[in-house]
Amino acid sequence: MGHISTEHRTALKVKGFALFALSFQTLGIIYADLGTSPLYVLNGIWPAAGDVPPAEDVIGGISAIIWALTILPLIKYVFIAPLFGEGGTFALFQGLYPPEHKNLEEDRVLTGDDSKKAEFESTSKMSPRFRWPLLLWALFGTSLTLADGVFTPAVSVTSAVGGIAVAKPSVASSIVPISIGILIVLFLFQFRGTNFISTLFAPVTFLWLALLAGTGIANITAHPGIFRAFDPSRAILLFVRTRNYDLLAGVLLALTGCEAMFANLGQFNMLSIQISFGGFVYPCLVLAYLGQGARLIRDGEAVLPNLFYNTIPGPINGGLYWVMFVLAILATVIASQALISATFSLTQQLINMRSLPPLRLVYTSDKIQGQIYIPFVNWLLLIITVVIVAAFRTLSEMTNAYGFAVATVMFTTTVMIALQIKYVKGWSTLLAVAFLLVFGFFDGLFWGAALKKVPEGAWVPLMIGGVLVIVSGFWTWARSLEDDFDASNRKNLRDIIVRRDSDNGLDVAIQRTGHEGDDAASEIEVSSDANSEKSPKYYMLDHDHDADVAKTEFSEVGFKVMSRIPTCAVFYKLTPGSGVPHSFVSFFRQLPVLPRVIIFLSLRVVPFAHVHPDERYLVNKVRSVEGFYGVTYHLGFRDSFDVNVDAIVQQISEIETNFSARGAAAVVQEIRNAAKSSTHIVPHYVIGSKPAQGGRLAKLRNIIRGFFIEDVYRTVSSMFPETANWLGYTDKIIHVGINASI
């Protein structure tokens, strides 16, 4: 049962044929963005309306593409980045500032004096003062990756559909509506899940890449001298000779999809990605670019208007042309899928780290927790993507905007990995600096070229990323205030509820033995007659009185008598940790009664698709106050949320049979009778902004802070409650609002 309590997603370990199958499946999700780049990269470097470049410039441009693919996707993202985390800059941040290791037993301890610890103080080797700057840096990188998820479908699909205009110029005006129609169909199928889509698309991508390699080999014969592009000096000489720095913005288009590989690691595994990219995708792309370069050198003006479709061997309107056209459409749909899947994965990370509202998640695989579908994100992406295709209208305008987000995210990833080398892996500072200088240099080159495109359209992904980082940064800040309030206001149950056993008019106080906060070590010592049939009395401390003074000189003054009623209440703890939540105290102070059975239930989602019913619940009994139990509910990531009170009561009955101080059979019968009527209580805080004291600046601060906390955060949090993913069970839950000033 101990393995159930782990919080971390387990790495996917496969070998043999299963590894081969998984490597093949990655083709349908991860690489299609990189794989469709030959559709538009060379025209991004040398526009269709421009002059035909000299042969040496073409060789230099192809060389730049080959070495960019080698240094960044192959070396950095396939063989280095996966060593440092499961996808994306936010995952790298989690490695630098991991959540503290929690003793999961504490969730079921209700008598502990739990106080909020510095969450990252004990586990991170980095200074806490760098946490917020690095968090915003990671959120910025993640936000731009999400913004890239909008442009990839727009650019890829539009470039593929553009092949119609080459073969049938009369339908050129229909490119935009056809592209929009394809995109709508793609987003409508997202609910089927990554596993379904990758199984369907992997063979298509394999055939697409194989044909790219084949046509590349055929085209290379047009000018075998193109192999000089493997000499990196040719790329350097291109920029020395032309002094045209803007060419790098076109080369950058060959790298789009790098972050998708990294972000999608959670949906596959590192070895499968290394095998598929290094052994198949990379050589196919290199051959494709070499072939296009060779044809550009030989045919010049004849192929420049559309370097992909015009370099397909054979005649325009020939059989191979239309085969490549159909595969291009399918491959660009898959390329769009790669970024959509990455967007889902990154959004899930942000939700799990409480940096976004708890949007509803739909898990689509029994085997891999990372394969998910997020309806809200899917429809939002669809709307924005369609707007972008309709607004930009031409491929050249979209490619100006495309790439800036990719270049920025690549640099943020480099910085985070360099820090991980030093502070997580514990390797030498020299190695961290060397990594930062080498890969930061290349990232910086591309970022500078992309920055020049901001006035020409790159401001759009920058704006989208900026909005997302503001939203996620704001939510992280506001949510942390609420969680801090909840954690700092937890109470020891023994400081709230007092039990008094009455025997012939003599009140006997509870004595504590064992360690403070340890329910298992807490004993009740009473001097009452064992045969007494009188029920004990329970009191709740009134909030106007001091607990220590009240218990030292015990009288009913300062306490509210709480009658016990034969029912069961399941009270949900929304944040982990020991002690009784503030919301419980506030709620029951308004009631004159206590249910006979009160269950404090903490939810833990484990990295398995399903948890056996016999292993779902762990139960602790609070011995100092009868009828209180701490329960941890283990839920598989594809299990339906459905608390089985009968199963919990069965475990409680077994515990009471062994530990009850009075007749076990009678106690068990009381509990079973009470459990026939159960109430599920989920608290939520009605948030208010805590005012600051001071002069005019404090008043202005209070107005601004109050607006964001009360008008914005409170409204949005009520729209996306913590129970958003408790489908099929929300109709059984009573939501109770508790005031909280944060």
Pick the closest to residue 564 from 528, 524, 591, 531 (CA basis). 591
Residue type present at position 566: P
In the 8-state DSSP scheme, what is residue 317? T
Contacts for 164-173: CB closer than 8 Å, 24+ residues apart? 164/325, 165/306, 166/305, 166/306, 166/309, 166/310, 166/316, 167/309, 167/316, 167/317, 167/321, 167/322, 167/325
pLDDT at 56: 95
Q: What is the rounded distance in angstroms from the CA atom of residue 687 to the CA atom of residue 714?
A: 6
Q: What is the rounded distance in angstroms from the CA atom of residue 397 to the CA atom of residue 604?
A: 48
In the 8-state DSSP scheme, what is residue 616? S
DSSP H or E run through 107: none
pLDDT above 70: percentage of residues in the chain? 81
**Extents of the domains making up the chain:** 2-99+138-484, 489-741
pLDDT of residue 507 exceeding 60, the answer is no
Instruction: Quickly tell me which residue has 């360690």 as its tokens.
Output: 515
Instruction: Name every residue whose Cβ is closer than 8 Å to that of residue 14 and which is 6 or more positions away in sequence.
Output: 22, 269, 272
DSSP H or E run through 401: helix 395-401
Q: What is the rounded distance in angstroms from the CA atom of residue 75 to the CA atom of residue 77?
A: 6
pLDDT of residue 460 exceeding 90, the answer is no
HEC per residue, 266-302: HHCCHHHHHHHHHHHHHHHHHHHHHHHHHHHHHHHHH
Maximum mean pLDDT: which of 140-149, 295-304, 651-660: 295-304
Q: What is the rounded distance in angstroms from the CA atom of residue 150 to the CA atom of residue 384?
A: 7
Neighbour tally for 563: CB within 10 Å: 11
Taking the CA atoms of residue 447, residue 452, residue 455 and residue 458 in that order, the dihedral angle to the nearest 10 degrees is: -30
Residue predicted with more confidence, 157 or 438: 438
pLDDT at 156: 82
Residue type present at position 585: V
Q: What is the rounded distance in angstroms from the CA atom of residue 229 to the CA atom of residue 221?
A: 15
pLDDT above 90: percentage of residues in the chain? 24
Please return the burial class of 666, using the count of CB atoms within 10 Å of its CB with bins 0-12, 13-18 and 19+. Answer: exposed
pLDDT at 365: 63
pLDDT at 362: 79
pLDDT at 234: 96
pLDDT at 49: 82
Residue predicted with more confidence, 641 or 533: 641
738 bridge partner residues: 685
DSSP H or E run through 179: helix 175-188
Q: DSSP for 43-94?
A: HHHS-TTSPPPPHHHHHHHHHHHHHHHIIIIIIIIIIIGGGG-SSSHHHHHH
* pLDDT tens sequence across 277-309: 999 999 999 999 999 999 999 999 999 988 999
Residue predicted with more confidence, 181 or 393: 181
Q: Over the chain, what is the mean pLDDT?
A: 80
pLDDT class of 524 with cuts at 50, 70, 90? very low
For residue 99, give the 3-state DSSP assignment.
Answer: coil
73 bridge partner residues: none
Residue 135 near residue 279, CB atoms below 8 Å: no
Mean pLDDT of 686-704: 82
Residue 472 near residue 355, CB atoms below 8 Å: yes
682 bridge partner residues: 735
Where b means 16+ CB within 10 Å and e means fewer, 271-280 reads bbbbbbbeeb
Least confident of 130-134, 229-233, 716-720: 716-720
pLDDT of residue 452 exceeding 80, the answer is yes
pLDDT at 171: 72
pLDDT at 580: 83
pLDDT of residue 226 exceeding 90, the answer is yes
Q: Provide the sign of the torsion angle of the four alpha carbons 211, 213, 217, 222, taken in this order.
A: positive
Two structure tokens written together for 190? 């997202």
Helix axes of 89-96 and 131-161: crossing angle, nearest 10 degrees = 160
Distance of CA 409 to the CA centre of its chain: 16
Q: What is the rounded distance in angstroms from the CA atom of residue 182 to the CA atom of residue 627?
A: 60
pLDDT of residue 212 exceeding 80, the answer is yes
Instruction: Quickly tell me which residue has 């601004």 as its tokens.
Output: 704
Residue 415 near residue 382, CB atoms below 8 Å: no
Residue predicted with more confidence, 159 or 107: 159
Residue predicted with more confidence, 216 or 25: 216
Taking the CA atoms of residue 38, residue 43, residue 45 and residue 50 in that order, the dihedral angle to the nearest 10 degrees is: 160
User: For strand 593-606 and strand 497-503, is the pairing parallel, antiparallel, or unpaired?
Assistant: unpaired
Where b means 16+ CB within 10 Å and e means fewer, 240-249 reads eebeeeebbb
pLDDT at 76: 93
In the 8-state DSSP scheme, what is residue 356? S
pLDDT of residue 512 exceeding 50, the answer is no
* pLDDT tens sequence across 309-367: 999 998 888 889 999 999 988 888 877 777 777 788 778 778 877 888 888 887 766 65
Residue type present at position 602: S
Two structure tokens written together for 30? 């991860």
pLDDT of residue 591 exceeding 70, the answer is yes
Pick the closest to residue 472 from 51, 90, 28, 75 (CA basis). 90
Q: What is the rounded distance in angstroms from the CA atom of residue 584 to the CA atom of residue 261?
A: 45
Residue 246 near residue 252, CB atoms below 8 Å: no
* pLDDT tens sequence across 420-430: 999 989 899 99
* pLDDT tens sequence across 55-113: 999 999 999 999 999 999 999 998 898 888 666 787 788 788 876 655 566 777 777 65
Two structure tokens written together for 81? 């980045």
Q: Which CATH superfamily is domain 2-99+138-484 in?
A: Amino acid/polyamine transporter I (1.20.1740.10)
Mean pLDDT of 439-465: 88
For residue 603, give the 3-state DSSP assignment.
Answer: strand
In the 8-state DSSP scheme, what is residue 580? B
